[in-house]
Chain A
């Protein structure tokens, strides 16, 4: 809940997030806008946990139904967006646990999560003294139309979906959903340092995919 002081009034009035107030008053358009705005981040958060898009959309739907069911009990200890994405994450994780029993390759799903340290740039790109052998390409000459093309977007989406879950969660919440570091640490129950390590690995993995594509 947002607390605001009004000088002179001598009281601290607690204000609700206007979006939350709109939802609670039955504002359909506010709800639709929120659903549309969070669809991309929610889908990305969920996609890595389930087999296909249909199941992912099903999880998104279940998440919104859960949001509605609990909306009156939401106490604003986090932002509305953080709360909703947290619900989607929990549902996706529990869906994965159920599916794990039937999928033969489930042991692969967490691969990479244990390798949280180590170099993120191929060692062969540096000489013995640790200096670049060849300077990385400058992307300032890549036109926006190419950098933001549908094909580039598809490759980045696939790269994010392919990350180990712990890295994927962090990059989706930070860079796709635009949450701040503190919110993400709180939601995932991790330290700021741990979050940076995961974020670094995730971003450098996406960078590598882009580098190969833009070369």
Chain B
């Protein structure tokens, strides 16, 4: 395997989707290649950072209060109809 091909298999690797023979070759390559190890590490950090962006969007107070009112209305109507 060469670096140019190994980089394209990295998501399959992280997803556990490589066939056993490919997995062995992939891991052999990675073990001896600083460049591909660094790239894989970059991809892992990318996932870590992407996972954090969900918490960077605070819910606007106006939306929260509108939705809470809608939830109350929904529940009281529902109680009334049961």
Which residues of chain B come closer than 8 Å to A68, judged between CB atoms?
Answer: 70-71, 74
Which residues of chain A come closer than 8 Å to B54, judged between CB atoms?
Answer: 40-41, 44, 176-177
Q: Tell me which of B17, B35, B51, B72 contacts A28 (CB under 8 A).
A: B72
Q: Which residues of A contact B (CB under 8 A)?
A: 26, 28, 31-32, 35-36, 39-41, 43-44, 57, 60-61, 64-65, 68-69, 71-72, 119-121, 123, 126, 129-132, 135-140, 142, 147-148, 150, 152-153, 156-157, 160, 171, 175-178, 181, 192-193, 196, 199-200, 203-204, 206-207, 210-211
Q: Is the CB of B64 within 8 A of A35?
A: yes
For B, the interface residue count at a CB cutoff of 8 angstroms equals: 48
The main secondary structure of chain B at its interface with chain A is helix
Which residues of chain B come closer than 8 Å to A199, judged between CB atoms?
Answer: 11, 15
Given contacts A153-B53, A178-B51, contact A129 B43 (CB under 8 A): no
Chain B 37-59 interface residues, beta-carbon cutoff 8 Å to A: 38-39, 41-43, 45-59
Which residues of chain A come closer than 8 Å to B46, judged between CB atoms?
Answer: 203, 206-207, 210
Closest to B54 in A: A40
Given contacts A178-B51, A206-B46, contact A64 B67 (CB under 8 A): yes
